[in-house]
Amino acid sequence: MLQRRSVWLGCIASVCLMLVPALLFAAEGGAHGEGGGLISLDKSLIIQMLNFLILLAILHRLLYKPLLAKMEERSAAIKTSLEAAEASRATAARQQEENAERLRAAYAEAQSIRAAALKEAADEQRKLVDAARREAQQLVESAKAQTDADIRRAREELRREVSDIAIAVAEKLVRKSLHDEEHRRVVDDAIARIGR
């Protein structure tokens, strides 16, 4: 409202400023007795001024008001667009920060998963190595026990065979009719040899 009043006052002031030099020039021409200058001070000048003011009022009503309304509407639309753009920019910045935070969290989670997997793999490897060592130890002990059993069995077999041989030798000696002393000496020798 205040803007419209200042526009009307500006229009009226500019018309008056344009007419003052013309009125002064016309007054000078009438004083010198010259008839008819550019503007004659009669009723037509007042009618022309009224016509001009009516034309200004019509132009103001038909053109200037809609132009001002459109400019205000456009200013409001630009302001709204700028506010929306600023809000979008703020939302985008916030979204970007959230995405960066999610990415950092995902990276940290991946690192922890990797560390846990490496630890688990190391534990599994250690368990496998320990199990392999225990199995190897058991195999060695089993082989040692088997070897000891085989050695004992071989000694027993050897003793039986030696005993059988000793008995056979004894029979042969007895057949040759050995004396008891010789017979005992031969058996003791055979037994002594088996014990070694």
- Tell me if residue 101 falls in helix, strand or coil: helix
What does the pLDDT average to over 72-97? 94
Q: Residue 41 carries which DSSP code?
A: -
pLDDT tops 90 at residue 83: yes
Backbone angles phi, psi at 4, to 5 degrees: -65, -40
Q: Residue 18 carries which DSSP code?
A: H
Per the prediction, the chain carries an average pLDDT of 81
Confidence of residue 5 (pLDDT cuts 50, 70, 90): low
What does the pLDDT average to over 73-93? 94
Ranges 66-70, 79-83, 171-175, 183-187, most confident:
79-83
Contact assessment for residue 168 and residue 136, using Cβ atoms and an 8 Å cutoff: no
What does the pLDDT average to over 37-59? 81
Note the pLDDT tens digit of each residue in 116-148: 999 999 999 999 999 999 999 999 999 899 998
What does the pLDDT average to over 38-50? 77
